[in-house]
Structure 1
């Protein structure tokens, strides 16, 4: 029985290089902590976080605009205080009306 192919010392150099190359490719593609899958996942998270940041920046600008309007418009501030928080001026009587849907 010829067991020569089981002994790695007797293999051709091209076979050894090919096996080593395959091992390195598999290692870096799937096993390593910086594998291609990990990099793909991190890039996806990075993209989602950038989109979320843009959305939050847009919302922040809208809120700054609303704050500016509230600081400059006393009537709007009074309207919001009355409608949303049920505030009233001294001496006023507030009647709450329930609406049926």
Structure 2
């Protein structure tokens, strides 16, 4: 039996280089915790989170605008207090009308 086949010392240098490069590519491509696959997944999650941040910032801006409108418009504040919370002025009588379908 030829033992040179199983002994890495007798292998050709080009074969060893190809073997080493293959191992390195597989390791850094798929196995390592900072592999290309893991980086791709993290970049995808980062893009999704940035999208969520933009939506939340837009929502926050809308809410700030509503707060500003409520602080500056007494009629709007009164309308919301009457319609949503059933508040009334002293001496007023509120009649609630039920709608039937």
Q: CA RMSD in A?
A: 1.3
Question: Which deviates further from its counterpart, 6-15 or 23-32?
Answer: 6-15
Per the alignment, in what secondary structure is the counterpart of residue 5 of structure 2?
Answer: helix
SS of the residue aligned with 1:87?
coil
Aligned residue in 2 for 1:99? 99
How big is the shift at 1:97? Answer: 2.0
Report the equivalent of 2:10. Answer: 10
Q: TM-score, length-normalised on structure 2?
A: 0.91
Matches within 5 A, 1:1-101: 1-101=1-101
Q: Runs of 4+ in structure 1 displaced over 3 angstroms?
A: none
What is the TM-score with the length of structure 1 in the denominator? 0.91
Deviations 1:56-99 (A, max 9, x none): 11111111111111111111000001111111112222222222
Provide, for residues 17-60 of structure 1, a one-character-per-residue CA deviation record: whole Å limited to 9, x for no partner: 11000000000001111011110111111111111111111111
Unaligned runs of 5+ in 1: none
Distance in 2 (CA, whole Å) between partners of 1:11 and 1:72 is 84
State the aligned residue count.
Answer: 101
Partners of 2:99 and 2:72 in 1: CA distance: 32
Structure 2 spans left out of the alignment, 5+ residues: none
The 3-state SS of whatever aligns with 1:5 is coil
